[in-house]
A and B are shown apart, each in its own frame.
Chain A
């Protein structure tokens, strides 16, 4: 006979003085997985049903009301109850069915054979119903779970059909798109990308080719014309049979992040400028030093020359007076004053002091100019420009801080114009140059030796390559992969933000280019920036 496969728990509800045969023996034929327990009274059965998952109750219809009480207590939502009774009359069975019994079995000769079959059937039916309940509840839970996630997701979520019409949107999507869920449903998404040709909208590409995007930057335009920078990921959506239904897009508003990015960039630049300030102060200090001293000395020279001039005046007066003795006396005085003052020397050194001071002030003017260029805010859009010019200007700014330790070898190639954000590029060059200098300082600082930095540019692969090579301390192989990570630094606390190279990397990436480092520690280290020619920064931006 068929047995109940898994473990089953059966309660036999029996009065102590029951005249009926004990059903336990018959139920044992269900196999060793059947746990049979004899209980007395409705309350005990009910309690057990609450504690355990009971699969079946077999209750005897005794002379008292016990069986009916049990049915009332269990039948509405509990496990199936099979009523065993002595009476073959239909009336008794009907009464039991009315009270909710699952089945009725007569305690006759065939009872030991019939009961297990009926019991098994009831158990299977009950379990099937229960499994379905559980499945339905799980589906409901899952739905509300997903719904919860989607609704409370910080990111915007849109599902579109194959035509790009909105099928579903969550609240953040509604906020970014600037419309309610009702207004969005069924609308195509293309009007939010008025500037982009239809075929180039990321979602359109996903729909057309199944291409998936992960966090790419784009800009959407609200109905009122407000542009919103977004980061968007999109993927095709399929049903369980594998038929494409449309696409799902997750995106977030990058306005604040962009703002923050710009601030970090500016902060990093300011930090670099702080680093520079000391070097620049020194570079200004030297010419200031001699201009200051020269001015002081020139005023002394002027006093000296005035003294001689006074004697010249006296001599002229004496010549006018016509007294030869007076003329001789004044002439001698003039000669004496000239000798004391050393007019020849003063005149030539005065001229030299002026010339040197002019050179000094020209140097200061140059430094201040470079620095002012550097602290400018960048243009909003990339401009076509000559990278050599920026490199030269940046080298001019950092040179003073390193010239006591470094020989700078420059070799500028003939370059095509590059679309770029000039200030950002200068920041990259400055970081690379300052790093190169610091690497040299770390290796030979204080030893009296000098290091070399090579600065080379050349046209390469339709763009330009800027190569900064130094003979500094180098980068250990295990660090080479991490140098572009934000906040990674091997410099002493307070010496570096750990943002320099990661900022460089981001800037170069924004230009659609690449930044690569190679190092042979103790020998040489090379950073190569490659930037695409033409206005690639616009496309990448």
Chain B
């Protein structure tokens, strides 16, 4: 499935528009990552544990987006936008939305 954050897919023509689709996950860290992050706070630098956590969450949200587009009968999603926010203590929500279209 084509997923892009441009208006159109270069080289393809949009035939049908199916509306707005979205994929989201809410993922929490666990105590182990917390402790490592706490230690890392002393020296600074990238918190690899959290980065990996959010990458996994984003992948899952991505799959859900594509699944929802597939259910509507689309084969591409254009104009995709990402958003991250924290909704609970220690958990953050990854939200991806776009327009599902059929291209040929």
Q: Please determine whether chains A and B interact with each other in the same assembly.
A: no
